[in-house]
């Protein structure tokens, strides 16, 4: 038994799909009914961080803490499957090199935290499972022999869309054909550096009622929506090709057109479910109408689209736009949706990076300037709080190894227990 500490800490990003994943053909292996494509968002703003340690002293039991709370690792559960698959890869590596410590035989302690509050309305399962897989891959020193795509195949079994968070930039999840799921994995369409100019504005929309959970909802759609079958067979394959080309060409107009169409197509299939599934509410729809008006007024001036919306399984809008358009978009959103908490990650207000601003409409250094034919009555100015919070971010890179070994990034203390949990105990 070695006295060395075998540990790694990684961070992983959130991704927001522009071609949506909805429906599984295998719910255990998480094999999707169609391909999907996403943009990875910047970890400097939104991320999951995970520390994984293997130690012979941990006994037989793997343990996992999520945001300071221990989570049971259920036999046959998704976390179990991910850890087991990673141990198998380590075992294969160890079997080729007798000098390696036999980490695959030891229990692991895993501690994971998200830097974004639940209130942000963002699913944490994608970044969370990507950080889990990345930290175990770093702990087990699996890369570069094991590719990120191979890791994504395992992350997929934790949470489908997690496979896309194994890459930065523009990422496709190839649904695959094989019943084993061997070919169901993520691939990079283009790295962040190919088109770094794309920014995202997350509009967190207040919603009284919790919608249908996506896991249950998507299978109900598979079982009851006649339109979903058409989406799977005809609509998505063509869009995957076209949006990949648009990304290669940095063609924002086409990218925006397909992104908006696919968001609407996905929500149409939700509505076509029996009973119907509603994720977008009246505020979500008002944002759609505002964006469509902005775009059509800009197009009336012979220019392209300014911005694209997309909605996941909830009422929040994610707006994608080239960096240059963002001040205008922010001004417009803040005009129609007063009092939105604004995470000023790019310091547009000059009050310091990552400041959060609440309350009065603050100037963004630019007067509100709209395309000349813009119909300002397209939607009413909403009551304060209809959009609860704005998060401004951009396309980002893939998972990062923050630290190998146990240093200042570690979420585990010397005993392999969560630092946060320990602090809570002391308090």
- Coil, strand or helix at 23: coil
- Coil, strand or helix at 55: strand
Of 192, 194, 200, which Cα lies nearest the Cα of 248? 194
Query: What Cα–Cα distance (Å) separates residue 261 from each residue in 18, 98, 171, 282, 391?
Result: 9, 54, 19, 19, 23
Distance CA 364, CA 123 (A): 29
> Looking at beta carbons only, is 274 or 324 nearer to a copy of itself?
274
> Looking at beta carbons only, is 43 or 221 nearer to a copy of itself?
221
CB of 256 to a copy of itself, least distance (A): 11
> Looking at beta carbons only, is 80 or 230 nearer to a copy of itself?
230
Distance CA 278, CA 266 (A): 11
Distance CA 215, CA 174 (A): 19
> Looking at beta carbons only, is 224 or 373 nearer to a copy of itself?
224
Of 124, 119, 268, which Cα lies nearest the Cα of 206? 119
CB of 211 to a copy of itself, least distance (A): 11
Binding site for a copy of itself (CB under 8 A): 208-209, 224, 226-227, 229-231, 234-235, 257, 260-261, 264-265, 267-269, 271-276, 278, 281-282, 285, 288-289, 292, 296, 379-380
Do the Cβ atoms of 254 and 242 come closer than 8 Å? yes
> Looking at beta carbons only, is 290 or 326 nearer to a copy of itself?
290
350: tokens are 């000059």
> Looking at beta carbons only, is 29 or 319 nearer to a copy of itself?
319
Q: Enumerate residues 6+ apart whose C-beta is below 8 A from 137.
A: 10, 86, 89, 143, 146, 151
CB of 264 to a copy of itself, least distance (A): 5
CB of 319 to a copy of itself, least distance (A): 15
- Cβ atoms < 10 Å from Cβ of 374: 18
CB of 267 to a copy of itself, least distance (A): 6
Q: Is the dihedral of CA 152, 24, 18, 388 positive or negative?
A: negative
> Looking at beta carbons only, is 187 or 261 nearer to a copy of itself?
261
Length of the chain as a residue count:
427
- Coil, strand or helix at 300: helix
> Looking at beta carbons only, is 8 or 297 nearer to a copy of itself?
297
Distance CA 287, CA 309 (A): 8
> Looking at beta carbons only, is 251 or 272 nearer to a copy of itself?
272
CB of 292 to a copy of itself, least distance (A): 4
> Looking at beta carbons only, is 5 or 378 nearer to a copy of itself?
378
- Coil, strand or helix at 65: strand
CB of 385 to a copy of itself, least distance (A): 16
CB of 210 to a copy of itself, least distance (A): 11
Strand order in the sheet with 198-205: 308-311, 317-322, 198-205, 387-394, 341-344, 355-357
Distance CA 63, CA 75 (A): 12
CB of 382 to a copy of itself, least distance (A): 11
Q: Which helix (H) or strand (E) holds 70?
A: strand 69-71
113: tokens are 């935290």
Of 305, 230, 270, 231, which Cα lies nearest the Cα of 19? 231
CB of 362 to a copy of itself, least distance (A): 28
Distance CA 144, CA 151 (A): 11
> Looking at beta carbons only, is 107 or 269 nearer to a copy of itself?
269
CB of 277 to a copy of itself, least distance (A): 10
């Amino acid at each position: 038994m070695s006295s060395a500490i075998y540990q790694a800490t990684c961070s992983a990003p959130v991704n927001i799909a522009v071609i949506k994943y909805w429906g599984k053909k295998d719910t255990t292996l998480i094999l999707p009914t169609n391909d999907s494509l996403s943009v990875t968002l910047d970890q400097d703003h939104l991320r999951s961080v995970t520390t994984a340690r293997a130690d012979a002293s941990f006994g037989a039991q793997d343990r996992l803490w999520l945001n300071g709370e221990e989570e049971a690792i259920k036999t046959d559960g998704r976390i179990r499957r991910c850890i087991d698959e990673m141990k198998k890869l380590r075992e294969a590596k160890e079997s080729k090199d007798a000098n390696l410590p036999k980490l695959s035989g030891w229990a692991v302690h895993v501690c994971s935290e998200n830097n974004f509050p639940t209130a942000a309305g963002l699913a944490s399962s994608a970044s969370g499972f990507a950080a889990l897989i990345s930290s175990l891959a770093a702990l087990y020193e699996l890369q570069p022999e094991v590719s990120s795509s191979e890791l994504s195949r395992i992350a997929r079994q934790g949470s489908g869309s997690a496979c896309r968070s194994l890459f930065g930039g523009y990422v496709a999840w190839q649904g695959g054909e094989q019943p084993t799921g061997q070919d169901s994995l993520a691939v990079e369409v283009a790295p962040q550096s190919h088109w770094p100019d794309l920014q995202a504005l997350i509009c967190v929309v207040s919603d009284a009622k919790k919608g249908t959970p996506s896991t249950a909802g998507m299978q109900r759609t598979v079982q009851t929506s006649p339109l979903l079958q058409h989406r799977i067979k005809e609509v998505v394959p063509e869009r995957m090709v076209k949006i990949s080309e648009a990304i290669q060409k940095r063609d924002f107009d086409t990218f925006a057109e397909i992104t908006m169409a696919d968001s609407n197509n996905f929500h149409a299939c939700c509505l076509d479910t029996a009973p119907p599934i509603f994720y977008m509410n009246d505020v979500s729809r008002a944002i759609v109408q505002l964006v469509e008006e902005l775009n059509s007024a800009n197009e009336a001036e012979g220019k392209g689209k300014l911005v694209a919306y997309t909605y996941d399984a909830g009422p929040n809008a994610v707006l994608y736009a080239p960096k240059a358009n963002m001040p205008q978009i922010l001004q417009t959103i803040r005009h129609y949706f007063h009092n939105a908490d604004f995470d000023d990650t790019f310091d547009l207000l000059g009050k310091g990076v990552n400041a959060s601003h609440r309350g009065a409409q603050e100037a963004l250094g630019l007067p509100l300037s709209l395309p000349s034919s813009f119909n300002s009555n397209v939607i009413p100015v909403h009551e304060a709080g209809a959009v609860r919070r704005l998060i401004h971010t951009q396309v980002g890179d893939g998972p990062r190894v923050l630290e190998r070994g146990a240093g200042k990034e570690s979420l585990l203390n010397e005993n392999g227990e969560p630092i946060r949990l320990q602090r809570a105990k002391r308090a």
